[in-house]
Amino acid sequence: MLLLLLILFQVIESPQYKRVGGSVNQLRPALYAAVYINKGSTSVGSLSSIGLFRRYEGDTAWVNLRPNTITPGMGFTSFGDRHQLYLAGGNGLHRSTDEGRTWRVLTGWRTKEVLSVALDPADSLRLYISTPFGVYRSTDGGSTWIEKMRGFKTWFVRRVILDRVNRNMLYATGEDALYRSMDGAETWKQLSIGVPGIKWVMQHPADSNLLLVGTEDHGVRYSTDRGETWKQAAGLDTSAVYTLASTRDGSALYAAGFQTGVWRSMDKGATWSQVWKAPDFDAIYSVCVNPRNPEHLMAGTNGSGVSESFDNGRLWHDAGLPNAIVRQVVMYP
Amino acid sequence: MGAFGPMKTTFPILLLVMVRAVAPAQSVFEQRHAEVVRVASDERDRSFSTITAKLKTGNDVPYALAMLDSLTKDEAIGGMFYSYSLIGCYLHTQDLLPDSLKRKVREAYRTRTMYRGDTENHWVMYYTGLYLAAQTWPDEEGSRWFNGRSSSENFQEARDWLDHWITISSTRGQGEFDSPTYITTFMTPMVVLYDFALDPVMKKKAQMMLDLLFVDFAAEHLQGNYGGGHSRDYPEDIINPLAAPSTFWAWLYFGEPGFPPWVETRYRPRHRSGWEPVFGAVSSYRLPDIIYRIATDRTTPYVHTETKRVRNVIRFGKELNPPAFKYTYVTKNYILGSLHGGILQPIQQHTWDVTYVSDKPNNTIFTLHPFYSGKELAMFFPEEEKFLSDEVDRYHKVYTNPNKWNSSSPYEQTFQHKNALIVLYHIEQGVKQPHINGFFPKNLDEFVRNASGWIFCRAGGTYVAIYPLKPYQWMEEEVNWRLRSHELNNGFVVEVGSLDEDGSFEAFQKRLRLKKPEYSGFDSNRTVEYITRNGDRMKFTFGGERVLNGRHHSFKEYGFFNGPFVQSKLGSGVIRMKYKNQTRTLNFNNVSLVDTP
């Protein structure tokens, strides 16, 4: 067979539509996992067990939500009782309005691979994506996209997020720096973090002035003035940090990355201590905290699927998706 | 498969005799096409190309239908390879398919994700498949397609990207250029697109792209070998050039080498069956005579240069698609060719070699620095730098191997003039795998290493001389000798000759024995000067100037194509082929094709 050969898919389970609370539009809480690649595959074209997966809270079984494309990220939003689920993937940005039963690709070939999506909670038509070729914005619900890179010095953008308070403010992790836009992505300003290789950016859920970034070689840095000035976090200062997470109230923050295990900060990111060494995992790409149970943590790993802890991260166990490189885990709603 | 094993070696020969006997009026070209289809129709592997062959010939039809049925039902299969070859098979054979099977083929484009992939060849296959599928089932709404988009949306998307690819490939070149391994993944979608695009403009573009792909190959072709530097190549194909998929296309369209590729087992790579050229064999596309002449007339040696482009550099670069410069010298005995050096492609670059005509395998000699780094890969792939080397190794097996035979390196640069080449290495301290490898086949007819410092090789009528600047080790391996040098500042001077150019092998050696490159200050100035046996003075500084006979060597003169057979100004979109009094001009700006006389 030639080279990369044909693409192998696993048998897809039909999504089940379990609803709670009596309302047909009330989503049952679930953990979603973005599986980038599965290490069980031996060919770059083998796509078995990749895409978006869902596990309902209280269940153990994962359901593949179908688009079998490499999947680095996802996004959720709701307008009234209508939920929208987004998948950022190799085939583009996908949207489902029926809980993952059907999908529509929103982007064309010009935007290429989509790495992350940022959604405006007040405007369903306004979307932002980051790609290896820049940031794109849509103001018509994903029908058309315009590149928005004025002010960037490089074009690779790993992640873009929207400020929780100011809908015109965005943050984007570029190859060389963190960038901020004050005008809905029209223009961008490079922020002076002091180190390149920004991997993740998070806005503190209880303090919108507090930004935290994970970096390639300098652990966590944080800013208390929305990015104007930055400080090095203590305790986690020489590692590659790929992800940051928070409890709903921001009382506990978590960080993980390359050979770091899981770290926690109880002082809004100023100091960190390790809570789990994770000796069996070479990297953790994503951590999320159950919004209804702050002691329940989930971690997406580099080739070992999902792990979870029910005691603030002290003890962890395998939660499924063997061999999967899980780039993002999100509990929604 | 056991029952078919013994047949493979004898059946094609019998078949060729039979075809010639029953169809004396057919051209040899048509006979090769028929032969491919008939031989493939006896294959049992589960592929759309062999299914197409069986249905086209009427051979083994029940088995073909069963295979097609299983492939349409098997949800474990999908993606870009699947997408274009499924629609190709369907369009070639739909008159022979029962309605139930037709429905299953259609349903496949709804029920499974056709993954687009992340390389140029992936996208060509994906969008060709999407274009033809959307054309075949027009006016259907998004719920009928795997991506939720309507037939017209999918058709427009595919058409726009194919237009984009054709434009950039005909003005700045392919990113995955001149690949003996990956050539199939461009040729096959284009012949299928040519055969079935209903839009006459797209059909014409597909035809012109095929002409372009073929003439690009033809100008660097020698008896089935794809000579010179390559953007991407599998190591098995690099050390055994006739094992590459390009050989099958060469045999089918150029009639060289003089044997069908499936007959010579020593050239059959173990890792693939390779029947995709069936789509070429059943196609109505016909190679223009002028390209056939360009591919096969080696009466006069010539220099051929090209400019290609680096695939998308997403990180750590100043330019998204920097140029890649190629220089190739072609004679009837050998091709000496080189890329200008540096990282032009991740993973599988082949920077330079001499490939010669031989009746033995492994007919090539080259050196390389087996470089690897996560940062190199992160230039081209969005994954994390710290993991990329391991991740790529899972697929390509050899990326971090110190003995690998394919590699780009930022520490390797070349300067070539006709049949002489200087390749320099300036490897930084701390780089992984800080050594240089050289490949020398063990089946050379003569081989001399002596006090002159030169390594002399003879393979048939081709002579190769290599002068290593620094000490090296000599290691025996299965099919080759491996030169290995751990000197970080290093280089080789290469001269290639032949019976026609130099007379005897002894005479060739004699001309070179007393010649020495001047490199006394190399460790500080990284400069080598060398006067070739033909009297040309080459001066080359790593990271600096290339000077020939006192004149700066400019890559601007390389053009998009610049040689006796193919001429094109970079960015013009106009490619002019010339052979004696024949010309063919491809003008991609107005999608026209003009032949003279």
Per mean pLDDT, which range of B241-250, B267-276, B309-318, B427-436 is the poorest?
Answer: B267-276
Of B115, B245, B312, the CB nearest to A68: B115
Same domain, B358 and B222: no
- Distance (Å) from the alpha carbon of A109 to chain B's nearest alpha carbon: 7
| pLDDT of residue B163 exceeding 60 | yes
Q: Which residues of B touch A282 (CB under 8 A)?
A: 387
- The verdict on a CB contact (< 8 Å) between B382 and A156 is yes
Same domain, B271 and B376: no
Q: What is the pLDDT of residue A25?
A: 56
Which residue of A1, A2, A104 is the best one to mutate when testing the B interface, meaning the one whose CB has the most B CBs within 10 A? Answer: A2
- The verdict on a CB contact (< 8 Å) between A9 and B77 is yes
Q: Which residue in B44, B109, B43 sits closest to B72, CA to CA? A: B109
ipTM: 0.91
Asked whether residue B571 is domain-assigned, the answer is no
Residues 6 or more apart in contact with residue A51 via CB below 8 angstroms:
A35, A64, A65, A66, A67, A68, A69, A71, A87, A89, B113
Which residue of B83, B85, B109, B147 is the best one to mutate when testing the A interface, meaning the one whose CB has the most A CBs within 10 A? Answer: B147
Q: What is the pLDDT of residue B40?
A: 94
Residues 6 or more apart in contact with residue B291 via CB below 8 angstroms:
B211, B214, B215, B218, B253, B577, B584
Q: What is the pLDDT of residue B193?
A: 98
Q: What is the pLDDT of residue B79?
A: 87
- The verdict on a CB contact (< 8 Å) between B181 and A3 is yes
Q: Which residues of A touch B395 (CB under 8 A)?
A: 4, 42-44
Please indicate if any CB of chain B lies within 8 Å of the CB of A27.
Answer: no
pLDDT tens-place string over residues B100-140: 999 999 999 998 889 999 999 999 999 999 999 999 999 99
- Distance (Å) from the alpha carbon of A143 to chain B's nearest alpha carbon: 11
Catalogue all structural domains in chain A, each as residue range(s) with its CATH number: 32-332 (2.130.10.10)
Asked whether residue B578 is domain-assigned, the answer is no
Instruction: Name the more confident of B446 and B389.
Output: B446
Decide which of B252, B275, B296 is a domain's last residue.
Answer: B296
Please indicate if any CB of chain B lies within 8 Å of the CB of A11.
Answer: yes
- The verdict on a CB contact (< 8 Å) between A7 and B273 is no
Please indicate if any CB of chain B lies within 8 Å of the CB of A108.
Answer: yes
| pLDDT of residue B299 exceeding 90 | yes
Q: Give the torsion sign (CA, B129, B130, B134, B140).
A: positive
Which residue of A4, A14, A284 is the best one to mutate when testing the B interface, meaning the one whose CB has the most B CBs within 10 A? Answer: A4
Q: What is the pLDDT of residue B492?
A: 98
Asked whether residue B206 is domain-assigned, the answer is yes
| pLDDT of residue B11 exceeding 70 | no
User: Which H/E stretch holds residue A208?
Assistant: none
pLDDT tens-place string over residues B237-278: 999 999 999 999 999 999 999 998 888 877 765 445 589 999
Contact yes or no for A194/A230 (Cβ under 8 A): yes
Q: Which residues of B touch A115 (CB under 8 A)?
A: 382
Please indicate if any CB of chain B lies within 8 Å of the CB of A323.
Answer: no
Average pLDDT per run of 10 along chain A, which is 333 residues long?
A: 33 31 65 89 57 93 88 89 92 95 96 95 95 97 97 96 96 95 98 93 98 96 97 94 97 97 98 94 95 97 95 95 94 93
CATH code, B285: 1.50.10
- Distance (Å) from the alpha carbon of B100 to chain A's nearest alpha carbon: 22
> What is the average per-residue pLDDT within B482-492?
97
Distance CA A190, CA B581 (A): 60
Q: What is the pLDDT of residue A46?
A: 46
Q: What is the pLDDT of residue A42?
A: 53
Q: What is the pLDDT of residue B277?
A: 95
Q: Which residues of A touch B79 (CB under 8 A)?
A: 6-7, 45, 47
Asked whether residue B573 is domain-assigned, the answer is no
Q: What is the pLDDT of residue B273?
A: 59
Instruction: Name the more confident of B164 and A36.
Output: B164
| pLDDT of residue B24 exceeding 50 | no
Same domain, B333 and B244: no
What six digits make up the tokens of A96? 């489902």
Q: What is the pLDDT of residue B27?
A: 83
Q: What is the pLDDT of residue B158?
A: 98
> What is the average per-residue pLDDT within B301-315?
97
Residues 6 or more apart in contact with residue B133 via CB below 8 angstroms:
B83, B87, B109, B154
What six digits make up the tokens of B228? 């010179």
Distance CA B249, CA B246 (A): 5
Same domain, B471 and B520: yes
Of B143, B273, B276, the CB nearest to A102: B143
Same domain, B292 and B431: no
Q: What is the pLDDT of residue B262?
A: 86
Q: Which residues of B touch A42 (CB under 8 A)?
A: 394-395
Q: What is the pLDDT of residue B18?
A: 44
Task: Using CA atoms of A79, A84, A88, A89 in order, give the dihedral in degrees to the nearest 10.
Answer: -160
- The verdict on a CB contact (< 8 Å) between B75 and A4 is no
Contact yes or no for A86/A74 (Cβ under 8 A): yes
- The verdict on a CB contact (< 8 Å) between B147 and A156 is no
Please indicate if any CB of chain B lies within 8 Å of the CB of A324.
Answer: no
- The verdict on a CB contact (< 8 Å) between B245 and A67 is no
pLDDT tens-place string over residues B489-527: 999 999 999 999 999 999 999 999 989 999 999 999 999
Distance CA B104, CA B110 (A): 10
Contact yes or no for A212/A222 (Cβ under 8 A): yes
| pLDDT of residue B76 exceeding 70 | no
In terms of C-beta density within 10 A (0-12 exposed, 13-18 middle, 19 or more buried), how is residue B359 classed?
Answer: exposed
Q: What is the pLDDT of residue B235?
A: 94
Same domain, B306 and B362: yes
Asked whether residue B63 is domain-assigned, the answer is yes
- Distance (Å) from the alpha carbon of B256 to chain A's nearest alpha carbon: 21
pLDDT-derived band of residue B320, with 50, 70 and 90 as boundaries? very high
| pLDDT of residue B159 exceeding 50 | yes
Asked whether residue B413 is domain-assigned, the answer is yes
pLDDT tens-place string over residues B380-405: 999 999 888 888 887 778 999 999 99
Decide which of B248, B264, B296 is a domain's last residue.
Answer: B296
Please indicate if any CB of chain B lies within 8 Å of the CB of A24.
Answer: no
Which residue of B47, B314, B392 is the best one to mutate when testing the A interface, meaning the one whose CB has the most A CBs within 10 A? Answer: B314
How many CB pairs below 8 Å do chains A and B form together? 138
Contact yes or no for A230/A221 (Cβ under 8 A): yes
Domain of residue B194 covers: 2-296
Decide which of B276, B296, B316 is a domain's last residue.
Answer: B296
Same domain, B335 and B259: no
Asked whether residue B507 is domain-assigned, the answer is yes
| pLDDT of residue B233 exceeding 60 | yes
Q: What is the pLDDT of residue B46?
A: 85
User: Which H/E stretch holds residue B55?
Assistant: helix B48-57
Nearest CA in chain B to A105: B147
- The verdict on a CB contact (< 8 Å) between A283 and B273 is no
Same domain, B405 and B279: no
Nearest CA in chain B to A94: B147
- The verdict on a CB contact (< 8 Å) between B320 and A1 is no
Q: What is the pLDDT of residue A27?
A: 82
Please indicate if any CB of chain B lies within 8 Å of the CB of A310.
Answer: no
Mean confidence (pLDDT) of chain B: 93
Q: What is the pLDDT of residue A48?
A: 55
- Distance (Å) from the alpha carbon of A60 to chain B's nearest alpha carbon: 24
Same domain, B453 and B335: yes
Asked whether residue B34 is domain-assigned, the answer is yes
Tally of structural domains, chain B? 2
Which residue of B186, B384, B396 is the best one to mutate when testing the A interface, meaning the one whose CB has the most A CBs within 10 A? Answer: B384
Number of neighbouring beta carbons within 10 Å of residue B265? 9
Same domain, B377 and B514: yes
Contact yes or no for B225/B295 (Cβ under 8 A): no
SS3 B287: coil
- Cite the DSSP H helix spans in B496-573: 499-502, 505-513, 522-525
- The verdict on a CB contact (< 8 Å) between B81 and A45 is yes
Same domain, B103 and B243: yes
pLDDT-derived band of residue B86, with 50, 70 and 90 as boundaries? very high
Same domain, B136 and B236: yes
Q: What is the pLDDT of residue B300?
A: 98
- The verdict on a CB contact (< 8 Å) between B272 and A2 is yes
